[in-house]
Structure 1
């Protein structure tokens, strides 16, 4: 009887210690919207996945400095982090409503409010190099999941070549390009309407292109500007430049 009592007491202490473990409530560090990445990795339209599970793509939280900021594809607002209350941290952004953050197991939960839906974030598995700008961890994970692997040019310039899009934004095997960047949000998105767009460049000079992803197929089209010279550019798909098949 005494042994059973001691065992139950130790179990209660152990469970109590887990429940009060600060690490289980810690929101510090970098968090990325892995849910949006997983949705995009299925091989459909990129911006549809980002809009469905965004709009925020990455959080960086510093509880010691009472600061938190996020990346939504084009902005990096910074807010003041208030003290924790019952496992919830409030982030006050000047001139806007408060955002609530808290842990949900191994994930970071952004609580739904009047402006944004509930969103979930996870730790980056392959962190960006130290000193990289906010958003680099999300882009690195997205590029790997959405563009990673080997692609074969089945139609267009360089037909038959193997193309590889790297997580760091480098591309090999695609004629006329050594760097790429996917449009996530902001001006590039508004200028391309409802189409996905990608920036391709070589030697520091580049241009926007329209692309369409359908499973293992990736089509890249010339971006035709339909606006006048004194108007904001508005791009629409032109002739197809490449058809790539994922190997």
Structure 2
């Protein structure tokens, strides 16, 4: 009787593993680990992967196409199956990314010269039609990291309630209607690894350095230490706002 029970169980396990090998990777995959880390209220720079690794993949197995975003640029490549749930993406030059569809909602990208192994999760919501590569990760990050209601404790608009929306809109913030977090690229280089965001109204705005510590958010004016003919090098100046999450 015991053997009779073990054999069906083993067969079920094997069939489950076999089904994983047939998972179609087509769709949008985001780096949920980065989002989960950031959602704890830590420094965004600490949560982001090193070496500007991809934050989102968009895969299309039928067209053999792959696109990725690392937060400031988009890359494209050719997607090819290797069998048993394994795939490879050939990028410009001789660069390759090897992937494994662990399950229908988990994709592993193997370690290479660019960085360590990464785990991506299939986007749980439906991406907007023709959504730019990287925008799904950005919305998920913004919602997890900046979501909720904040109160301005100090600074212009003191006492006001503010909402940082997942689509980049700002509600209740004095003199501003949109924001954007710096994920990577020149904006990160110019702030020397400090967290920064862009705040604007009617498409006119400025960069600010911010510090996040749990439910507390400090936003600082920037001071440019570079010469006029050099790339800007920003440091935190006077604190402009102090916000606390309700």
Do both proteins adopt the same fold according to a TM-score greater than 0.5, normalized to the shorter chain? Answer: yes
Name the residue aligned to 1:129. 128
Name the stretch that deviates more: 157-166 or 91-100. Answer: 91-100
Give how far 1:10 is off.
7.3
The 8 Å contact of residues 124 and 141 in structure 1, kept in 2 or not, is answered as no
Alignment partner of 1:174 is 2:173 = yes
Name the residue aligned to 2:140. 141
The 8 Å contact of residues 33 and 54 in structure 1, kept in 2 or not, is answered as no
Give how far 1:13 is off.
6.6
Give how far 1:22 is off.
6.2
**CA shift in 2, pair 1:15/1:227, >3 Å:** closer
Name the stretch that deviates more: 46-55 or 183-192. Answer: 46-55
Give how far 1:47 is off.
1.2
Deviations 1:151-170 (A, max 9, x none): 00000000000000000000
Q: Equivalent residue of 2:74, what SS? A: coil
- Size of the aligned set, in residue pairs, is 245
**CA shift in 2, pair 1:53/1:31, >3 Å:** farther
Equivalences for residues 1-247 of structure 1 within 5 A: 17-21=15-19, 25-51=23-49, 55-105=53-103, 106-247=105-246
How far apart are the structure 2 equivalents of 1:14 and 1:42?
38
Q: Equivalent residue of 2:114, what SS? A: coil
Q: Which runs of 5+ in 2 are unaligned?
A: none
The 8 Å contact of residues 181 and 198 in structure 2, kept in 1 or not, is answered as yes
Give how far 1:136 is off.
0.6
Q: Equivalent residue of 1:21, what SS? A: helix
Q: Which runs of 5+ in 1 are unaligned?
A: none
Give how far 1:134 is off.
0.5
Give how far 1:21 is off.
2.6
Q: Equivalent residue of 2:41, what SS? A: coil
Structural RMSD (CA)? 2.3
How far apart are the structure 1 equivalents of 2:156 and 2:27?
44
